[in-house]
Amino acid sequence: MTDDTRIWGQADVSSGKGASDENFPVGSLLLSRKLRPHVHAYYDYARVIDDIADCESLPPQDKITRLDAMEEVLLGQRSAINRADALSAARLRASLLQTHVPFETATDLLVAFRNDSRGHNYHTWDDLLEYCKYSANPVGRYLICLHGENPAAFGPSDALCTSLQILNHLQDCAKDLERLNRCYMPSELMQRAGTSAQDLLAGRTSPAMRRVFNTLLDGVDDLNRQASALPAHIKDRRFRMECAAIVALAHRLTQRLRREDPLAGRVALRRTDAMHAAIAALRAWA
């Protein structure tokens, strides 16, 4: 077996997901055409490492080996082989060198995905926030740096990205446990409410689990309030509109998860939510 095969493996780990599968815009038409290729390079890399961590057929150590190899290509410590996963890291490296966006916006993601690969447990709300610091917040910071915006935007951007990540955990909590044996619901909250992770597989939300969800959504409400300040920090008009739209969508999805049952079916944004986001974006144009 060649060294490349040992490191990268032979199996395709792609989930088949693309930008259209996300809740929120990825490199949308609101962003500058000049910057869009760089955003897509970042998204492609993030999708690959996410797929590696979520691959059901790879053992944990193989996932970590592949993630380590992606980081080595990204940092120029290893040459990329002719495979989509390795090439995504090489393309992002070229993009980061061209745009001078810090490499930490890409390498920090690997901290979270290595934890996912190992099957990390989350006991408290603070544990979950620490995970989001690496799994989600680098995305907003990447975009802020790419647009040359003031670092004062980092705080509300972190709040928004953390909100979006926790909302996604709530949407997919049953699937994550069933497919990946992974639970992001803090065990301390579940114990306090008198429930456990296995209740996520019940097909409907019990009163006890609803208390856990509502506690998490209370935290998300606070994050959304902090995130509402983000558009005011953004000078680039098109990027400001994008931020305003995403903040509006975060508020709308939070409301839906309050009213609907994520264990009975995936709670998703609807056309009316997109309309509210479009209105928020237009208001941010001025």
pLDDT digits (tens, 9 = 90+) for 84-105: 899 999 999 999 999 999 999 9
From CA 234, how far away is CA 143, in angstroms rounded? 11
The average pLDDT across 208-234 equals 98
Instruction: Give the pLDDT band of residue 114 (cuts 50, 70, 90).
Output: very high
Q: What pLDDT shows up at residue 157?
A: 98
The SS3 assignment for 170 reads: helix
Instruction: Give the pLDDT band of residue 20 (cuts 50, 70, 90).
Output: very low
The average pLDDT across 36-56 equals 95
The tens digit of pLDDT for each residue in 154-213 reads 999 999 999 999 999 999 999 999 999 999 999 999 999 999 999 999 999 999 999 999
pLDDT(2) > 80: no
From CA 86, how far away is CA 66, in angstroms rounded? 9
Q: Calculate helix-pair angle for 104-118, 137-146, nearest 10 degrees.
A: 170
Q: Which of 23, 25, 20, 18 is nearest to 281 (CA)?
A: 25
The average pLDDT across 115-123 equals 94
pLDDT(269) > 90: yes
The average pLDDT across 52-69 equals 94
104's CB contacts (< 8 A; 6+ apart) are 138
The vertex-127 CA angle with 121 and 128, nearest 5°, equals 85
pLDDT(285) > 80: yes
User: Are the C-beta atoms of residues 229 and 156 closer than 8 Å to each other?
Assistant: yes
From its phi and psi, is residue 120 left (phi > 0), alpha (psi between -120 and 50) or beta? beta
Tell me which of 15 and 236 has the higher pLDDT. Answer: 236
pLDDT(244) > 50: yes
Residue whose token pair is 């053992």? 59
DSSP code for 79: P
Q: What pLDDT shows up at residue 16?
A: 54
Across the chain, what does the average pLDDT equal?
Answer: 92
pLDDT(234) > 70: yes
pTM for this prediction: 0.92
Instruction: List the alpha helices (DSSP H) in the chain.
Output: 3-8, 36-54, 60-74, 84-99, 104-118, 125-135, 137-146, 154-171, 173-180, 187-193, 207-227, 230-233, 237-259, 271-283
Q: What pLDDT shows up at residue 15?
A: 52
pLDDT(217) > 50: yes
Q: Is 216 exposed, middle or buried (0-12, 13-18, 19+ CB in 10 A)?
A: buried
CA dihedral 142, 146, 152, 158 (to 10 degrees): -20
